């Protein structure tokens, strides 16, 4: 991987997340081979906050990854999906609950 004066691709991705700009985040994320669940949640939260048209698909992918990687049961899956649907109304509150499901503190 080529490293520019702007730094490593993941560093650029982290900086893009801090901007809250969905287009910058998308561009930086495309440089990565893998995005952790925690970072995926941050992307979905930004999309929810900005009411970005990519939110629905990104939230669905996040819930699918949660199910696959964390082995969620049906009730947990239903809760994760309902929480993802509520993200645009309360991004900070709901994201904390989803973060706990992901395994963040």
Predicted local distance difference test score (pLDDT) of residue 73 = 92
> Whole-prediction pTM value?
0.87
Q: Quick check: 40 and 48 in contact, CB under 8 A?
A: no
pLDDT tens-digit series, residues 15-57: 999 999 999 999 999 999 999 999 999 999 999 999 999 999 9
Q: Coil, strand, or helix at residue 66?
A: helix
Long-range pairs, 67-71, Cβ under 8 A, ≥24:
69/37, 70/37, 70/101, 70/102, 70/103
Long-range pairs, 68-75, Cβ under 8 A, ≥24:
69/37, 70/37, 70/101, 70/102, 70/103, 72/101
């Amino acid at each position: 991987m080529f490293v520019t004066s702007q730094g490593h691709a993941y560093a650029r991705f982290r900086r893009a997340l801090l901007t809250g700009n969905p287009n910058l985040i998308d561009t930086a994320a495309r440089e990565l081979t893998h995005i952790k669940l925690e970072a995926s949640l941050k992307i979905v939260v930004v999309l929810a906050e900005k009411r970005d048209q990519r939110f629905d698909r990104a939230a669905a992918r996040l819930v699918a990854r949660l199910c696959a990687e964390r082995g969620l049961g049906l009730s947990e899956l239903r809760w994760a999906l309902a929480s993802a649907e509520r993200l645009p109304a309360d991004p900070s509150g709901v994201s904390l609950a989803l973060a706990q499901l992901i395994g963040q503190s």
